[in-house]
Amino acid sequence: TLFTSSGMQPLVPYLLGERHPVGNRLVDSQKCFRSQDIEEVGDNRHTTFFEMLGNWSLGAYFKKEQLRWFFTFVTQEVGLDPQKIFVTVFSGNEKLGIPRDTESVEIWQDVFSELSIEAKVAEDAEIRGMQGARIFYYSEKKNWWSRSGTPEKMPAGEPGGPDSEMFYDFGLGLHIHETSAFKDQPCHVNCDCGRFMEIGNSVFMQYQKQPSGAFKELDQRNVDFGGGLERLLAAAHNDKDVFKTDLFWPIILEIEKASGRSYSEESVQRATRIICDHVKAATFLAADGVYPSNKAQGYFSRRLLRRAIRYADQIGIQSQFIEKVVDVVSQIYLEAYPDISQKKKIIQEAFRQEEDKFRKSLSKGLKEISK
């Protein structure tokens, strides 16, 4: 593993039973980098770098307590409208011996009924759509969580489990965008039309894969709650575009200044988001000691910066601009991550050299192509 890509990454030994030095109930905010999402960046919600808010039961509390806390957190702390909350649960897999999660369904039904919100349960949403339901069963393709994905992809020894996910309804209408891969399917909470966005999940991390391929119950039943800070913020704004939140918007403004183009122009929006995400991610990597190079983690820093420059070139940013973006990132995170501003000059110098080198190769290459 080259990067921390999820909240559980640094906690695996404790999920497997080792005693954590500060106890069995933890709360954290984990910086995450998902290199595998690099091609997805450009829509309203995907980013390579994000902060995962977590709370963790290491064999302490379980579903009954945690799902209620999850709901209380998003409705009372974050202030989301409970009517706009939809949830999913695991439908079970007989072959793996993992039961259907009827317990979570009962908990969610109680939670919603206390607010007089009808909470019908449905399955086959991929085929039959919403069916007027609020709680949905999905298979392990959607409601199973491990670092490696679905059960068959997990290596022996890896912990994982079914999860319950929460979606926020941006209420943008039921029409599926014509470019969506799901355009021929009915809209449902897990489809890609943009109406719903997952804002968090509670993984019931209670199984470990065995060398035989079977799943054994761990000695302790853990809960791994993960909530994407940027997405929660977007839901709090009731605007599905995470790039319009305070965690990105000042960067977008800086890119607008450099390009002279407005983010609202459809023809530049994707490129602007990619530049914004990539330079921000590279800045966070650098603050943690990863600089552009041809090897291991450094390769991803280089790839992020070069992609950002290529997209910048496309929207008319011809001169050095990355160091200005680094400055804006350091301002956004002055309080939360002061190390960025402390290391700003070194980061800017390294990125300036990278930009200089790559812009020269880019213009040489483009000349060759046009020849």
Q: Closest approach of Cβ 222 to ligand GLY, in Å?
A: 11
Note whether 138 and 175 are within 8 A (CB): no
Q: Are 105 and 123 in contact (CB under 8 A)?
A: no
Asked if 159 is part of the footprint of ligand GLY (rule: CB under 6 A), the reply reads no
| By CB under 6 A, residue 160 contacts ligand GLY | no
All residues at 6 or more sequence positions from 227 whose CB lies less than 8 Å from its CB, including other chains: 52, 53, 54, 73, 74, 199, 200, 201
Distance in angstroms (rounded) separating the CA atoms of residues 51 and 276: 16
- Work out whether 322 is an interface residue with ligand GLY (CB under 6 A): no
Which of 48, 143, 164, 201 forms a contact with ligand GLY (CB under 6 A)?
201
In angstroms, what is the minimal distance from the CB of 269 to ligand GLY? 26
- Nearest approach in angstroms of CB 144 to ligand GLY is 11
Q: Is 229 in the site for ligand GLY (CB under 6 A)?
A: no
CB of 71 to ligand GLY, least distance (A): 16
Q: How far apart are CA 116 and CA 76, in angstroms?
A: 16
CB 53, CB 73: distance < 8 Å: no
Residue 145 engages ligand GLY in binding (rule: CB under 6 A): yes
- Output 224 or 354, the one with its CB closest to ligand GLY: 224
Residue 226 interacts with ligand GLY (CB under 6 A)?
yes
313 within 8 A of 290, measured Cβ to Cβ: no
Q: 95-134 mask for ligand GLY (x: CB under 6 A)?
A: ----------------------------------------
Q: Is the Cα torsion angle 232, 233, 237, 242 positive or negative in sign?
A: negative
Decide: is 165 part of the binding site for ligand GLY (CB under 6 A): no
Cα distances from 240 to residues 120, 232, 328, in angstroms, run 25, 10, 23
Using CB under 6 A as the binding rule, the residues of this chain from 30 to 59 that contact ligand GLY are: 52
Residues that bind ligand GLY (CB under 6 A): 6-7, 52, 145, 201, 203, 224, 226
